[in-house]
Amino acid sequence: MKVQTVSVGVRTKGECDIVDITNDVQEAVSATGVSEGAVHLFVIGSTAAITTIEYEPGLVNDIKKVLERLVPKGAGYEHEEAWNDHNGHSHLRASLIGPSLTVPLVEGRLKLGTWQQIVLIELDTRAREREVVAQAMGE
């Protein structure tokens, strides 16, 4: 078994920016030469998350609304009191979605459904430069 590690850089616009990174991940993984196995993705940072969705405007807006209902901005979080950085909700939202995702790799392609894209969700209150580490494992 071979393990190859690559990174994908993602520039975000800040709070609840949802970026489709599917093509960037596929391109990076293709360069590893691994064709059968799995790809594990991990976003570095505690205020961003990775998941899969049907990347279309209605669902993108729905995700933003649900996150605001579940973890409202400005609801008085202890993290914000301790650090005075106004992003306690960002950390909580990121922890609910999670920083990682594993996708099967078949014949050199990410095995995703027709309407399934990999997205990075920026949950911090400002624009960021994010790094997604991809480890392709297999043959």
Of the pLDDT bands very low, low, confident and very high (cuts 50, 70, 90), residue 84 is confident
HSE-CB of 45 using CA atoms within 13 angstroms: 20
Give the helix ranges, DSSP H, for 50-87.
57-70, 78-83
pLDDT higher than 90, residue 58? yes
Instruction: Give backbone dihedrals phi and psi of 10, rounded to 5 degrees, phi first.
Output: -135, 125
Verdict on whether the full-model pTM lies above 0.85: yes
- Looking at every residue in the chain, the average pLDDT score rounds to 97
β-bridge mates for residue 6, sequence order: 134
Number of domains in the chain: 1
* Residue 96 tokens, joined: 């609910």
Q: Is 126 left (phi over 0), alpha (psi -120 to 50) or beta?
A: beta
Question: Where residue 101 sits, what CATH number does that domain have?
Answer: 2.60.120.460
Q: Give me the percent of the chain exceeding a pLDDT of 70.
A: 100
Of the pLDDT bands very low, low, confident and very high (cuts 50, 70, 90), residue 52 is very high
* Residue 72 tokens, joined: 């409202």
Say if residues 113 and 54 touch (Cβ distance below 8 Å): no
Range of the domain at 35: 2-138
pLDDT at residue number 54: 98
Q: Among 15-29, 78-92, 97-111, name the one with the lowest average pLDDT.
A: 78-92
* Per-residue pLDDT tens digits for 88-131: 999 999 999 999 999 999 999 999 999 999 999 999 999 999 99
DSSP letter for 18, please.
E
Residue closest to 51 by CA, chosen among 110, 121, 114: 121
